[in-house]
Each structure stands twice: as structure tokens, then as C-alpha cells.
Amino acid sequence: MENLFSLSRILELIEKGGIVMYPLLLLSVISWVFILERLLNLRLSAFLPKNLNEIKVLLQKGDVEGAQKVLSINDDAFSSALSLVLDEYIKGNRRKADLMALMEGELSGVVPAVEKNLMLLSAIASLAPLLGLFGTITGLIKVFSAYASVQTEEALRLLAAGIGEALTAAATGLIVAIPALFAYWIFRNMGNDILNKIEREARDILNLLE
């Protein structure tokens, strides 16, 4: 049995679905690149230091300088923001409101990193069905054109081709859109959880400062 995903089968489907299949194929490739990128990079460990518990223990003991040394070996945004906050604390600014404002300002750049490529996935999920609908319409145009043909056999051939193009384009649009939309909501929820976790950890750490 011929492999459903063989190159010849894919080329046959592209030819059958009409010209709209080419942008749909491109959108599919782009969406899966974005999905793989988010799977690799959207992790809590990429935004919070692995030694966060050690930092909390040091701050509970009042060892702010020791916490600073531990933070210096990290390269994540949270550690950089907390390091600046502790610098301000060591300089004598002990107001929690000022420290929290500084922390939030430094962490504002985390949001775009967490939400990276999500809007593009949403756009692909919206655009792909519209392209499929466009392919459906062009296929139906061929169907109606078939009835204008003077030769019955030619009309039947055009009828079959038009219906095939309409159904193939519509199905492909959904095949491209559904994974993109599903991934968008999954990654959006994951991103919200990460941002909420970062906010809680920031508040917990600032509450440890006496």
C-alpha cells in the first residue's frame, strides 16, 4: 500500500487542491516550526533560576551578600532583576513598594519572551481556514463552469475536479488550523502559569527582606 505521507501522495494532493495548497503548505511548515520552538523554550526553568530555593534560604538568614553571589552565576532574567533589587536593598532602600516596582520593571521583558510566536500561531489558525474556504470557492466555480461545457464528458470531468479541489482545500485548511489553534491555547495557558509563578516568587522573595 502506498504510504499516505509519501512525496508522490503529497504532490498529488497539492495538485488536486489547487494553487491555494501552496500557501497552506507554507503556513503548516511555519506553524510547526513555531510549535517546536515553544516546546523547546517555554519551560519554567528557562525563566526562574534552578537555585532559587538556595537563594531563599540565604535571604531568610539575612545573608543578602551571599544571595548576590549565588545570583551572579545565573544568566536568567529573574536573577538579573533580583540582583538589581538586592543592590538597591544593600544601598539602603528598604521600601517594599520601591523594590517591587523595580522588580516588576526589570521583569517586564519576560512577558514578550513567554508569549513569543503565540500571536503568529493564532494568526495561522485564523488564516488557514480562510485560505481553505477560498480554495473551496474556486473549486465550486469550476463545478459551475462544468455545466456550461457543451460536451457532457468534459462537464463530468470538470465537475469531479472542482469538487475534489473544493474538498481538498477545505480539509487542508482545517488540518493546518487545528494544530496551530490547539498549540496556541496550550502555550498560552503554560505562559500564564509561568508568569503567575514568577510574580509569586518575586513577592515571596521581597517578603523575606527585612
Q: For 121-140, what is the mean pLDDT? A: 90
Judge if pTM exceeds 0.75.
yes
Cα separation, 121 vs 127, in Å, equals 10
Cα separation, 164 vs 195, in Å, equals 46
Average pLDDT over the chain, rounded to whole?
84
User: In this model, does residue 129 exceed pLDDT 90?
Assistant: yes
What pLDDT does 192 receive?
94
What pLDDT does 197 receive?
92
What pLDDT does 165 receive?
74
Residue by residue, DSSP assigns 72-111 as: TT--SHHHHHHHHHHHHHHTT---HHHHHHHHHHHHTTHH
Residue % of the chain over a pLDDT of 90: 30
What pLDDT does 1 receive?
43
Tens of pLDDT, residues 67-105 = 888 888 888 888 888 888 888 888 877 788 888 888 888
Q: Which of 58-72, 151-165, 171-185 has the lowest average pLDDT?
A: 151-165
**What angle, 0 to 180 degrees and rounded to 10, lies between the N-to-C axes of helices 52-60 and 64-71?**
170
Select the more confidently predicted residue: 146 or 129: 129
Q: For 163-182, what is the mean pLDDT? A: 88
User: In this model, does residue 182 exceed pLDDT 90?
Assistant: yes
What pLDDT does 153 receive?
64
Q: Among 131, 119, 132, which Cα is nearest to 184's?
A: 119
What pLDDT does 152 receive?
64
Cα→Cα distances 72→64, 69, 90, 170, 199, Å: 12, 5, 15, 54, 21
User: In this model, does residue 151 exceed pLDDT 80?
Assistant: no
Tens of pLDDT, residues 14-53 = 666 678 888 999 999 999 999 999 999 998 888 888 888 9
Cα separation, 185 vs 118, in Å, equals 9
What pLDDT does 2 receive?
47
Q: Which burial class, exposed, middle or buried, applies to 205 when counting CB atoms under 10 A from its CB (0-12, 13-18, 19+)? A: buried
